[in-house]
Chain A
Amino acid sequence: EPEVTQTPSHQVTQMGQEVILRCVPISNHLYFYWYRQILGQKVEFLVSFYNNEISEKSEIFDDQFSVERPDGSNFTLKIRSTKLEDSAMYFCASSEAEDIQYFGAGTRLSVL
């Protein structure tokens, strides 16, 4: 069964460093998303991406964050200068149309 894959599974970084989280969405999907889940809290929407541009973003997705689809298969989330409060699970999701979203296993980001 096709699935969304995310790498790495765990990323440790120092505060102030840049990180890139990588995702390979399901191959025929056109819509891509990032969510995050701080430990013990709800899954929160960050951003959606379609046709090579951001279609929707939340208040969390400020200038420190950016997304890119650098080639036909990868979708990345970059955090420019990480803060302690960026520590969370980051989930990538994809959908064929703007309805059912399928999630990856997540990347655990630890900012020290």
Chain B
Amino acid sequence: QKEVEQDPGPLSVPEGAIVSLNCTYSNSAFQYFMWYRQYSRKGPELLMYTYSSGNKEDGRFTAQVDKSSKYISLFIRDSQPSDSATYLCAMKLSSASKIIFGSGTRLSIRP
């Protein structure tokens, strides 16, 4: 079983739709959960960061972590064409330096 699994998409939705992106993971010891956005040939840009379980909201973005199901989600409300990018879930142990990334979901918002 892969450590972090993420549907690669592509996912295409109309402007204004609610987008749901998800990842599952196998290591129950992960404590830090992150979502990064990556535009083509650019570096990962941190969007959301959660420590342990629960929800976090920042503007149009909501991150959810369900540790009992080993499942994390990112919701984007009122999606915009500028949200078109690859979204990477990522996680980390509290005792380690390295971030483990999902493969990324390519999202396209149609005007």
Contact = CB atoms under 8 A, between A and B. Distances in A.
Nearest to A91: B43
Given A89-B41, A91-B43, A48 B97 contact: yes
B15 to A, nearest CB: 27
A contacts with B: majority SS: strand
Interface residues of B, number: 22
B71 interface: no
A101 B99 contact: yes
B44 A98 contact: no
Nearest to B31: A99
A35 B98 CA distance: 9
A100 B51 CA distance: 10
A51 B65 CA distance: 32
Contacts of B51: 99
B43 A100 contact: no
Interface of A: 4, 6, 31, 33, 35, 41-45, 48, 50, 55-56, 58, 89, 91, 98-106, 108
Nearest 9 A/B pairs, CB to CB: A48-B97, A45-B98, A103-B43, A56-B97, A43-B101, A105-B43, A103-B44, A106-B43, A42-B103
